[in-house]
Structure 1
Amino acid sequence: MLNPLLVFVGGGLGALLRYAAGRAALLVGWAPPLATLGVNIVGCFAMGLLAGWFAAKGGSESARLFLLTGVLGGFTTFSAFGLDALTLWRTSPAHAAAYVAASVIVSLLAVFLGFSLAR
């Protein structure tokens, strides 16, 4: 009974953090695709860092569910990523392709880097 609540609360917190990051990015003049890209990279790095820490140090299932599934699941934005890619595709397929490639490659590298640093 507690595990779904942890995911729910963590997901809500992550979504609020994502919203705040998006608003902050707009305030400094970033276009929405760049804000989404930044959140995905930071979220993937944090995911790797925490997953590596849990792998090396252990930790409770509750903490994993709250932080990884909840907070970071709510924070990362691949649904927004898909919409941004579609929006870019409609005006510039080349920019859309570059955005998708950068999002996937740099985010995966961020997960590996975070995981490696935590171990």
Structure 2
Amino acid sequence: MKYLYIFIGGGLGSMSRFAIWRIFNYFNVQFPFGTLTANVISCFVLGYLIGIQLRTGFSDNLRLLLMVGFCGGFSTFSTFGSETFLMFEEGQIFNAAIYILASLLLCWLFIFLGIKLA
């Protein structure tokens, strides 16, 4: 039964990430804002859930559904890695460096904010 919670949460997270990607793709944005946005939102949600879990706790099934499933399906490190690689391959060194720094700093910041706001 635990795998079902992860499966459902992961599916919802993946579909949400795809929706964000489609929005940015529709506007033909050249910088990978879709992946960055999904990762930052996922970090905030995960941080918020960690904060709630630390203060009040919640069921293991809810943890599996939201933290493992949804946040795991919504965030995407592999896409971040491939987009960064392609930027380097295309000679977009500055954009790749900005993307790496923005991803690391914003994701850390939003985990922190999520925990503090919970």
TM (norm. structure 1) is: 0.92
Distance 1:32 1:78 in 2: 16
* Match runs of 1:4-83 below 5 Å: 4-31=3-30, 33-83=32-82
Task: Kindly indicate which of the two structures has a greater share of residues assigned to helix.
Answer: 1
**1:101 is the counterpart of 2:101:** yes
Distance 2:38 2:28 in 1: 15
What is the letter of the counterpart of residue 73 of structure 1? G
Distance 1:102 1:34 in 2: 10
What's the secondary structure of 2:32's corresponding residue? Answer: helix
TM (norm. structure 2) is: 0.93
Distance 1:93 1:36 in 2: 18
CA root-mean-square deviation:
1.2
Query: 1:50 deviation in Å?
Result: 1.2
TM superposition outliers: structure 1 runs of 4+ over 2 Å: 27-32
Contact 1:22 1:32 in 2 (8 A): no
What is the letter of the counterpart of residue 115 of structure 2? F
Identity %: 38
Unaligned runs of 5+ in 2: none
Distance 2:47 2:89 in 1: 33
1:114 maps to 114
Query: 1:74 deviation in Å?
Result: 0.1
Unaligned runs of 5+ in 1: none
Query: 1:115 deviation in Å?
Result: 0.5
What's the secondary structure of 2:29's corresponding residue? Answer: coil
